[in-house]
Amino acid sequence: NIDTKKIGINTDGDRMNQVLLNLYINAIDALDDKGILEIQVQDIEKEGQIEIKVKDNGQGIDEPSLDLIFDPYFTTRPTGTGLGLSIVHRIIENLEASIHVESKKNVGTSFIIHLPVS
C-alpha cells in the first residue's frame, strides 16, 4: 500500500540529484554481490519535514571513521578521492537541510536527510 500524496519541497533538483547519486555510489561500494540498497522517503508532518533515507546492508562504518566521513579527502577505500560525502554534506547545508549517519560495522549504514517542506 503506497501513499501517493504529493509533498512539496523547495530545493535545487540538480543539487539533490548529486546528493542522491553520491550516496548511491557510496552505498554500492559498501555492498557485496548480495547486498541490498534501499531508498525511503517519508513525510514527517508534525515536524514539517521530508526524510530521505539511503540505507544499505554493507560493511558499515567503524566508530572512529564516523566523525570523519564528511571531511574532504577522508576515505577508507584504496581508490577514490574522499570528496563524495563532503560534497553531499556541503550541498545539504547550503539547502538549509540536515544529514546524519547511522552505521554498525558488518551490519550496514543509513544516511538520513531532513528537508523542510515548502
CATH number where 19 lies: 3.30.565.10
7 within some domain: no
Question: In this structure, is residue 63 part of a structural domain?
Answer: yes
For residue 116, being part of any structural domain is answered with: no
Average pLDDT in the chain: 89
**C-alpha distances out from residue 102 to 65, 67, 79, 81, 84, Å:** 12, 11, 23, 22, 17
Percent of the chain at pLDDT > 90 equals 65
pLDDT-based confidence at residue 4 (cuts at 50, 70, 90): low
Structurally, the chain folds into a number of domains equal to 1
Quick check: is 48 in a domain? yes
In a domain, 8, yes or no: no
The answer to whether residue 6 is domain-embedded is: no
Classify residue 69: in a domain, yes or no.
yes
Better pLDDT: 41 or 48: 41
Does the pLDDT of residue 67 top 60, yes or no? yes
Q: How far apart are CA 70 and CA 65, in angstroms?
A: 10
pLDDT over 90 (residue 57): yes
Prediction pTM value: 0.88
Q: What average pLDDT does range 12-35 have in this prediction? A: 91
* Overall average pLDDT of the 20-48 stretch: 88
Domain span holding position 36: 13-110
Cβ atoms of residues 50 and 92 within 8 Å: no
Assess whether pLDDT exceeds 80 at residue 6: no
